[in-house]
Amino acid sequence: MGSNGKWSTADVPDQSDRIAVVTGANTGIGYHTAATLAHRGAHVVLAVRNLEKGNAALARIVAAHPRADVTLQELDLGSLASVRAAAKSLRDAYPRIDLLINNAGVMYTPKQLTADGFEMQFGTNHLGHFALTGLLLDNLLRVRGSRVVTVSSNGHRFRAAIHFDDLQWERHYDRIAAYGQSKLANLLFTYELQRRLAAQQKNTIAVAAHPGTSNTELMRNLPGILKPANALLAPLLFQSPAMGALPTLRAATDPEVEGGQYYGPDGFAQQRGHPKLVSSSAQSHDEELQRRLWTVSEELTGVKYPV
């Protein structure tokens, strides 16, 4: 760590010979996560929905570090067909995967459905990543020190519950509560995955992180009533996407990290700052809730895990 005891990109160990798959890597936190891993020597796969934006991100990474080893993989987390196709390509290309970083996400979207009829935030943020992780897990299980890092949010605390009686918000849509459900699901998934991994093997761990409040493209769907306050408070409350990526990078690379941990900023209310071990809500640690969500997720996606 730095002389001030704060963890930064300087603390990311050499990543040579490691394969890292980062979803949503064309912008914001995902971009900075992917760029840092590539600059540290990893072969990084930018798993993105929009290949044009993905190519631009790849060009930026290589322009900054000409020896960076970066490739693109088309992936639309809102389509299980796309997730299955991407997973097959990745499995075939990379028999061994060291890092899967489930970063991509949508926030506060107007009511929309994925290609499979899921509510957009739950379908993209949770179910898409649940399916992708399950389909790639065999390739991670072979690698000592491999990790699944899933990006959650402070939003897992706000009006958050798993609405098993209406998971897809068909009766009444609340974009903030739906986001909270999806981010709570990310943590329930991480903790249940870690328990299953720990029971069977020692190679792979599951970890979670959150970026605090970062000024990224996620903010584009803020409700109109919040936009003036957002513009006013952003310089005080928000941190850069590069800072927002640090908790993810620490969860992915710090040798001291253990399975089932959660990393976030060290500042006031975990809004901004350098990454440290943080706690998540009591609800996220409810083992019955974790197992129930897992069972429903397997049913909805048709993906069965090898653990």
113 close to 39: Cβ distance less than 8 angstroms: no
Q: Which residue in this structure is represented by tokens 């963890």?
A: 7
Q: Which of 118, 125, 206 is nearest to 160 (CA)?
A: 125
Q: Which of 23, 307, 101 is nearest to 192 (CA)?
A: 307
Kind plus residue range of the DSSP H or E element containing 192: helix 175-200
- What single DSSP character describes residue 171? S
Q: Which of 240, 298, 252, 290 is nearest to 34 (CA)?
A: 252
Which is it for strands 43-48 and 69-74: parallel, antiparallel or unpaired?
parallel
Q: Which residues are catalytic?
A: 179
The whole-angstrom separation of Cα 210 and Cα 244 is 8
What are 208's strand-pairing partners?
Answer: 150, 262
The whole-angstrom separation of Cα 210 and Cα 120 is 20
The whole-angstrom separation of Cα 78 and Cα 243 is 27
